[in-house]
């Protein structure tokens, strides 16, 4: 690899020479970003596999959610964020490269611990990803799947919290401290804004989950009673050693983390969608300031609405009503974003590559999934809909699938920068169409299951008569899921094939985009900018500026170098 | 020259995308409007009110859904790259403010409007003459206790619980008030009379859910949660557990039977006789 002449005292990084320091225990944010992406891809595929096995009645719901969530959180945030946040702000690396490496390997460890939970005696954990106590707190006496498997599960979750805290800290510091000259907050790409706000959410939320996990472990292993009330009787056996705990305390702690966590999964997707819609409409983002405000608004309100998961939990009905109104208000910044996405497209010159198709799909899915939130935010409607398939449809569309679309959009867009080759567009289009049509075929019908009153987390519908007529809908969904999941192997093939044999990205900036990562070679050198700190002169989305010859002005281009029409 | 723009063929992709969005929207709206899969008829006044609020929400979200998806489809087709120049504008504050205010009024208004149904269940307690029924949930069964002629629930003790010997809720037979208590695995209630449910759980969190009542409430160990309803239409209604409670969650099932006043009295007598 080329080493650059020192450009006047800036920290110049020499690439490590050993294979292990270079590719395994690397402190280069780009290598770590790719490691996270691989971990995320693995997780998402395991999650998809488990979802499908669940549809075939073979697998465990807890696991599915972890892998999905693990994947969804690590890909857009830790994966792309790690790789592109430093480059987009003009930094040579993250603020704390060693911490970055530790954060990845801790995440890896948590994954191993959770995988181990499936191979211990006493069975895989079945507490659901919410792990509500007392079911999750009593150990083996509460039934199969509540023994060592559940303990490992919670330990894994706690380790994951630690890893996420390290990552969040690093992101926040990097964005605040390492921005290049001229990269004011008002010139940050929206991707960076969403990574930043997501990191703040992570910093505030994961600490709470970590505390909750420790308390739950103490209940399970040390005989404490944080979440277990007195007087329990389990299959005729009286529990005498627990007294005075509150099952609702766990729910509050869990959802204080769990709701922001939903935004941790979706915000980076919003950033990528905004970024691509502007780039491929060749137009500035409509209402940049409103977009930043909406991201911050969603981040803030995300901490004020956790109670809407608990409307029927036995929580105070007055709190429930307050949470309901707060939840309705989170629809406002979400609506602003949708409106501005349409405004960004309007009057543009839209180019339909696969990255853009996924970004457009994201907008459609965000609308479809978001609107059902207006039903679920009303406690009176939750008297019927809560814990049913309407909820399943809602959160899969908005948080599961929309986030995955954000991840795919980012992958098709940044692949040439990361690996110097393009993903195959033809295969990509087939992948897009199967996925887009497929996810609607899977998740739209779930709304109707919910209307018919189908509770979620039912292993099968044989014991309840009113579920019988809904069976054909399940069959339809299972077939759609099979086809959609199969199509993901096209992507996997495309990914590995294009790494070796994809069309080479000879130009630094093949998409004619504006942000800093497109000003350096593909793939970027070890220290990103060759020891020279870039200077930023323009906003992030200067497309089709009147008077300029090209329809884009890169952020780093000095004003006197912008060609006039 | 830009490469990788997909200029060739952009019309067909734009058209396909627009057509899919329109089709998806139309089919979704059709299935909602035709009520192909729908709620079972409500048997309480509260249920009718909840259904009305659902329809109001459906109308508002439906309009936004159609407008947004069609808007997206139109933008995709109309502004596909066919050699034009993109117009340069960075936003419009007036529209931004109007849009924000409109959604605040619409969404928060909808939330406030929904208050009434919620208040009926939870802000207002059961009236004086309501029939109390204690519901005790356990893995994976429901127990319904009626106070009997003395109108009092007898004492229960955890250590007396023994589902196998016919005392699933641990009724203490030394308490005189417990003598006439009636415990049944299914529930019966008289039509047109208010019923107060006292929800308890012995082990883990369960959830009481009867579709036709439009009512769902968790039963939480260590808590006693009160809800109330007046069922108007006689019939048999299924009760399903709605909170994951272990491996047998999906078969934790019971029945709620709504009877005429006379049939209800007869049912109570028959149950008491069977219990002797």
The pLDDT tens digits for A232-242 are 998 888 998 89
CA distance B153 to chain A (A): 18
Q: By percentage, how much of chain A surpasses pLDDT 90?
A: 73
Q: What pLDDT is stored for residue A6 in this prediction?
A: 41
| B24:A440 CB<8 A | yes
Show residues of chain A in contact with B48, CB under 8 Å: none
CB contact under 8 A, B222 and A465: no
DSSP 8-class letter at A298: H
Chain B residues close to A351, C-beta within 8 Å: 2, 5-7, 10, 81
Nearest by CB to B57, which of A248, A342, A375? A375
* Predicted pLDDT at A9: 39
Q: Which domains does chain B have, with CATH numbers?
A: 10-80+94-121 (no CATH), 128-275 (2.60.40.420)
Report, as an integer, the average pLDDT of A251-277: 94
Question: Which residue in A453, A504, A507, A542 has the most chain B C-beta atoms within 10 A of its own C-beta, making it the best mutation to test that interface?
Answer: A453
Q: Domain A300-503, CATH 1.20.210.10 — does that match?
A: yes
* The residue to which tokens 């329990």 are assigned: A232
Question: Under DSSP, is residue A342 helix (H, G, I), strand (E, B) or coil?
Answer: helix
Question: Which helix (H) or strand (E) element contains residue A201?
Answer: helix A190-221
Whether B15 and chain A come into contact, CB under 8 Å, resolves to no
Distance from CA of B197 to the nearest CA of A (A): 13
Per-residue pLDDT, B5: 47
pLDDT of A138 above 80: yes
Other beta carbons within 10 angstroms of residue B85's beta carbon come to 12
Torsion of CA A130, A134, A137, A141, to 10 degrees: -120
Residue A142 in this model has a pLDDT that exceeds 60? yes
A503-508 contacts at long range (C-beta below 8 A, 24 or more positions apart)? A503/A421, A503/A422, A503/A424, A504/A420, A504/A421, A504/A422, A505/A416, A505/A417, A505/A420, A505/A421, A505/A422, A507/B3
Tell me if A180 sits within 8 A of A89, measured CB to CB.
yes
Report the complex ipTM.
0.95
Contacts of B76 in chain A (CB under 8 A): 345, 350, 360
Mean of pLDDT values over B150-176: 92
Report the alpha-carbon angle A536-A542-A547, nearest 5. Answer: 110
Q: How far is CA A491 from CA A84, A305, A408, A426, A498, in A?
A: 22, 36, 9, 11, 10
What does the pLDDT look like over B118-154, one tens digit per residue? 999 899 999 999 999 999 999 999 999 999 999 999 9
Q: How far apart are CA A335 and CA A294, in angstroms?
A: 9
pLDDT one-digit tens code per residue, A71-125: 555 666 778 999 999 999 999 999 999 999 999 999 999 888 888 887 877 666 7
CB contact under 8 A, A340 and B91: yes
Which of the pair, A465 or A17, is modelled with greater confidence? Answer: A465
For CA atoms A33, A38, A39, A44, give the dihedral sign. Answer: positive
Instruction: Band the pLDDT of A534: cuts 50, 70, 90.
Output: very high
Closest by Cβ to A290, choosing from B38, B96, B247: B96
| Inter-chain Cβ pairs, chain A and chain B, closer than 8 A | 345
Of B88, B209, B238, the CB nearest to A465: B238
Please report, in angstroms and rounded to a whole number, the separation of the first and last CA atoms in chain A.
39
End-to-end Cα, chain B, rounded Å: 92
Q: Which residue has the higher pLDDT, A329 or A126?
A: A329
Distance from CA of B260 to the nearest CA of A (A): 24
Q: Can you tell me the distance from the alpha carbon of A29 to that of A333, in angstroms, rounded to the nearest whole number?
A: 32
> How crowded is residue B32: how many other Cβ atoms within 10 Å of its Cβ?
18
Contacts of B50 in chain A (CB under 8 A): 380-381, 383-384
In terms of DSSP H, where are the helices of chain B?
10-34, 45-78, 93-113, 115-118, 261-275
Query: Per-residue confidence at A15, pLDDT binned at 50, 70, 90?
Result: confident
CATH superfamily of A22-245: Cytochrome c oxidase-like, subunit I domain (1.20.210.10)
Which residues on chain A are in Cβ contact (under 8 Å) with B28?
Answer: 368, 444
CA distances from A300 to A105, A209, A369 (A): 30, 18, 21
Phi-psi region of B241 (alpha: psi -120 to 50; beta: other; left: phi over 0): beta
Q: Return the H-helix or E-strand segment holding B142.
A: strand B141-146
Residues A47-66, mean pLDDT to the nearest whole number: 65
Q: What is the tens place of the pLDDT at every residue in A293-326? A: 999 999 999 999 999 999 999 999 999 999 999 9
What is the domain partition of chain A in residue ranges? Answer: 22-245, 300-503, 506-565
User: Where does A323-470 show beta strands of DSSP type E?
Assistant: none
Looking at the complex, report in whole angstroms how far the Cα of residue B125 sits from the nearest Cα belonging to chain A.
Answer: 12
Mean pLDDT over residues A268-291, rounded? 96
Q: What is the pLDDT of residue A323?
A: 96
Over residues A136-140, the mean pLDDT reads 86
Whole-number pLDDT of residue B188: 97
CA distance A98 to chain B (A): 37
The full DSSP string for A70-136 is HHHHIIIIIIIIHHHHHHHTT-SS-S-HHHHHHHHHHHHHHHHHHHHTTSSTT----STTTT-TTTT
Confirm if A370 and A398 have CB atoms less than 8 A apart: yes
Pairing of strands B225-230, B215-219: unpaired
Q: What is the mean pLDDT of residues B73-77?
A: 97
Residue A57's pLDDT band, with cuts at 50, 70 and 90, is low
Cβ distance of A512 and B2 shorter than 8 Å: yes
Select the residue of B3, B111, B225 nearest A377 (Cβ to Cβ).
Answer: B111
Beta bridge partners of A181: A535
CB-nearest partner of A234 from B118, B203, B250: B203
Instruction: Note the pLDDT of residue B104.
Output: 94
Q: Which residues on A lie below 8 Å from B245 (Cβ)?
A: 135
Question: What's the whole-number average pLDDT of chain B?
Answer: 93
Q: Taking 70 as the threshold, does the pLDDT of residue A3 lie above it?
A: no
Structure tokens given for B60:
């508002």
Q: How many residues does chain A have?
A: 565
Task: Tell me which residue in A320, A352, A466 faces B238 most closely, judged by beta carbons.
Answer: A466
- Nearest by CB to B246, from A143, A377, A422: name it: A143
Q: Which of A236, A216, A214 is nearest to A228 (CA)?
A: A216
Tell me the pLDDT band of A65, cut-offs 50, 70 and 90.
low
Task: Kindly tell me if the per-residue pLDDT of B165 is higher than 90.
Answer: no
Quick check: B241 pLDDT over 70?
yes
Q: How confident is the model at residue A8 (pLDDT cuts 50, 70, 90)?
A: very low
Q: Which residue has the tokens 């007294």?
A: A243
For residue A205, pLDDT beyond 90: yes
Confidence (pLDDT) at A2: 39
Which tokens go with A466? 């009113």
Query: For the purposes of burial, counting CB atoms within 10 Å of the CB of B270, is it exposed (0-12), middle (13-18) or buried (19 or more)?
Result: exposed
User: Tens digit of pLDDT for each residue in A342-371?
Assistant: 999 999 999 999 999 999 999 999 999 999
Q: What's the pLDDT score for residue A53?
A: 75
A332 and B107 within 8 Å at the Cβ level: the answer is yes
Q: Three-class SS of residue B215?
A: strand
Gap from A44 CA to chain B (nearest CA, Å): 24
Q: Residue A149: what pLDDT?
A: 83
Mean pLDDT of A18-37: 89
3-state secondary structure of A506: coil
pLDDT for the residue B4: 47
Average pLDDT on B31-58 reads 96
Q: What is the mean pLDDT of chain A?
A: 90
Furthest C-alpha separation in chain A: 84
HSE, CB side, 13 Å, CA atoms: give it for residue B184. Answer: 22
pLDDT tens by residue, B221-232: 999 999 999 999
């Amino acid at each position: 690899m080329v080493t650059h002449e020192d450009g006047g005292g800036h920290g110049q990084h020499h690439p490590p020479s050993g294979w292990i320091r270079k590719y395994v225990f690397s402190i280069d944010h780009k290598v770590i970003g790719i490691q996270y992406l691989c971990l995320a891809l693995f997780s998402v595929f395991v999650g998809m596999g488990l979802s499908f096995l669940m549809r075939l009645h073979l697998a465990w719901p807890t696991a599915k959610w972890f892998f999905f969530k693990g994947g969804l959180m690590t890909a857009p945030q830790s994966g792309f964020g790690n790789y592109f946040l430093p480059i987009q702000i003009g930094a040579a690396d993250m603020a704390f490269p060693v911490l970055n490496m530790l954060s990845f390997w801790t995440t890896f460890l948590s994954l191993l611990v959770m995988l181990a939970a499936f191979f211990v005696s006493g069975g895989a954990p079945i507490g659901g990803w919410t792990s509500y106590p007392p079911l999750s707190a009593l150990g083996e006496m509460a039934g199969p799947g509540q023994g060592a498997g559940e303990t490992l599960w919670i330990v894994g979750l706690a380790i994951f919290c630690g890893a996420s805290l390290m990552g969040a800290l690093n992101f926040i510091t990097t964005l605040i401290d390492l921005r290049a000259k001229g990269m004011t907050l008002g010139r940050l790409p929206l991707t960076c804004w969403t990574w930043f706000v997501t990191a703040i959410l992570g910093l505030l939320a994961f600490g709470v989950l970590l505390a909750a996990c420790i308390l739950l472990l103490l209940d399970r292993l040390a005989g404490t009673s944080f979440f277990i009330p007195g007087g329990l009787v389990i299959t005729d056996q009286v529990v005498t050693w627990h007294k005075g705990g509150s099952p609702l305390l766990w729910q509050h702690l869990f959802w204080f983390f769990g709701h922001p966590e939903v935004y941790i999964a979706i915000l980076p997707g919003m950033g990528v969608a905004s970024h691509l819609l502007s780039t491929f409409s060749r137009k500035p983002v409509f209402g940049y300031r409103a977009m930043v405000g909406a991201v911050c608004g969603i981040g803030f309100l995300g901490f004020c609405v956790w109670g809407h998961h608990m409307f029927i939990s036995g929580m105070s009905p007055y709190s429930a009503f307050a949470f309901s109104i707060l939840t309705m208000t989170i629809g406002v910044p979400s609506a602003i974003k949708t409106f501005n996405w349409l405004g960004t497209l309007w009057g543009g010159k839209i180019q339909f590559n696969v990255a853009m198709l996924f970004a457009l799909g994201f907008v459609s899915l965000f609308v479809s999934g978001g609107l059902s939130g207006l039903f679920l935010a009303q406690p009176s409607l939750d008297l019927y809909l809560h814990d049913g398939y309407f909820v399943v449809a809602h959160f899969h569309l908005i948080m599961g699938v929309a986030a995955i679309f954000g991840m795919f959009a980012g992958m098709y867009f940044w692949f040439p920068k990361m690996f110097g080759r393009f993903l195959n567009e033809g295969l990509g289009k087939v992948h897009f169409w199967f996925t887009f049509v497929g996810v609607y075929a899977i998740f739209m019908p779930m709304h109707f299951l919910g209307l018919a009153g189908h509770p979620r987390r039912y292993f099968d519908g044989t014991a309840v008569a009113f579920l019988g007529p809904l069976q054909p809908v399940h069959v339809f969904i299972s077939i759609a899921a099979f086809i959609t999941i199969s199509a993901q192997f096209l992507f996997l093939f495309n990914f590995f094939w294009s790494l070796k044999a994809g069309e080479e990205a000879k130009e630094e900036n093949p998409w004619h985009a504006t942000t800093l990562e497109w000003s350096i070679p593909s793939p970027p050198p070890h220290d990103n900018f060759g020891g020279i700190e870039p200077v930023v002169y323009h906003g992030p989305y200067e497309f089709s500026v009147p008077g300029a010859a090209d329809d884009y002005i890169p952020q780093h281009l000095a004003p006197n170098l912008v060609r006039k029409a | 020259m830009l490469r990788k723009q997909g200029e060739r063929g952009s019309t067909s992709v734009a058209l396909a995308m627009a057509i899919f969005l329109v089709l998806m929207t139309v089919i979704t709206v059709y299935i909602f409007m035709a009520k192909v899969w729908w709620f079972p008829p409500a048997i309480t006044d509260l249920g009718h009110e909840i259904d009305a609020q659902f329809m109001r929400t459906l109308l508002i979200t439906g309009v936004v859904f159609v407008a947004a998806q069609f808007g997206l489809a139109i933008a995709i087709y109309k502004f596909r790259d066919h050699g034009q120049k993109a117009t340069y504008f960075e936003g419009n504050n007036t529209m931004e403010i109007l849009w924000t205010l409109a959604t605040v009024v619409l969404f928060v208004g909808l939330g406030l409007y929904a208050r009434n149904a919620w208040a009926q269940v939870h802000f207002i307690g059961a009236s004086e003459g309501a029939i109390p029924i204690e519901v005790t949930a356990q893995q994976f069964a429901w127990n319904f206790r009626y106070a009997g002629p003395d109108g009092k629930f007898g004492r229960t003790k955890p250590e007396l619980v023994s589902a196998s010997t016919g005392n699933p809720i641990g009724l203490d037979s030394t308490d005189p008030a417990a003598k006439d208590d009636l415990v049944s695995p299914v529930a019966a209630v008289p039509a047109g009379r208010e019923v107060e449910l006292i929800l308890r759980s012995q082990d883990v969190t369960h959830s009481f859910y009867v579709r036709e009542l439009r009512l769902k409430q968790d039963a939480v160990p260590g808590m006693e949660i009160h809800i109330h309803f007046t069922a108007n239409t006689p019939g048999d209604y299924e009760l399903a557990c709605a909170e994951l409670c272990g491996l047998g969650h999906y078969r934790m099932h019971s029945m709620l039977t709504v009877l005429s006043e006379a049939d209800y009295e007869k049912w109570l007598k028959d149950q008491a006789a069977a219990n002797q």
